[in-house]
């Protein structure tokens, strides 16, 4: 296992991609393909947010204070990404707000599923003697 915890980030990413594929078919089959497209836009934005989060927090752990400030400002770009997508999509497709927001929250679901996986794994393994 990685000492820096990257395997947890990989698991959260896998959960997000799996939920994106599942949600795409569920929104397309149960609602409409317009809803599935809005969910796809939200899901891809969520994955872009997660990728930026991974990049920024990984680079923020530098000894240079100046670079830490640069990456802190870049982390605001993650929020700007979500705000821009929400404003444009809700303005153009107000009926598809729920699938869009559901797609945007995939990164939260991925993190929660990884936490659940860790809890289940911790209860099935016994501490060393």
Cα distance between residue 36 and residue 97, in whole Å: 11
Is 78 inside any structural domain?
A: yes
Alpha-carbon Rg for the chain, nearest whole angstrom, is 17
Q: What is the pLDDT of residues 73-103, one digit of tens each?
A: 877 887 888 888 889 888 888 888 889 889 8
Per-residue pLDDT averaged across 102-107, rounded?
Answer: 88
Residue 121 forms part of a structural domain:
no
Q: Note whether residue 89 is domain-resident.
A: yes
pLDDT at 22 over 70: yes
Is 1 within a domain? no
Q: Output the average pLDDT for the chain.
A: 84
Q: Domain range spanning residue 76?
A: 6-116
Task: Please indicate, yes or no, if residue 10 is contained in any of the structural domains.
Answer: yes
Tens of pLDDT, residues 35-55: 899 999 999 989 988 888 887
Q: Does residue 124 lie within any of the structural domains?
A: no
pLDDT bucket at 2, cuts 50 / 70 / 90: low
Q: Give me the number of domains the chain comprises.
A: 1
DSSP string, 8-69: HHHHHHHHHHHHHHHHHHHHHHHT-HHHHHHHHHHHHHHHHHHHHHHHHHHHH--S-HHHHH
On whether residue 126 sits in a domain, the answer given is: no
Is the pLDDT confidence value at 1 over 50? no
- 129 lies in a domain? no
């Amino acid at each position: 296992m990685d000492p820096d915890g990257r395997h947890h980030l990989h698991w959260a990413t896998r959960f997000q991609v799996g939920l994106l594929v599942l949600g795409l078919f569920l929104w397309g089959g149960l609602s409409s393909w317009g809803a599935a497209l809005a969910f796809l836009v939200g899901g891809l934005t969520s994955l872009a947010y997660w990728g930026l989060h991974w990049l920024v927090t990984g680079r923020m752990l530098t000894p240079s204070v100046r670079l830490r400030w640069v990456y802190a400002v870049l982390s605001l770009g993650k929020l700007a990404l979500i705000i821009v997508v929400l404003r444009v999509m809700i303005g153009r497709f107000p009926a598809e707000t729920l699938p869009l927001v559901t797609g945007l929250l995939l990164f939260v679901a991925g993190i929660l599923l990884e936490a659940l996986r860790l809890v289940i794994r911790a209860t099935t393994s016994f501490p060393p003697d």
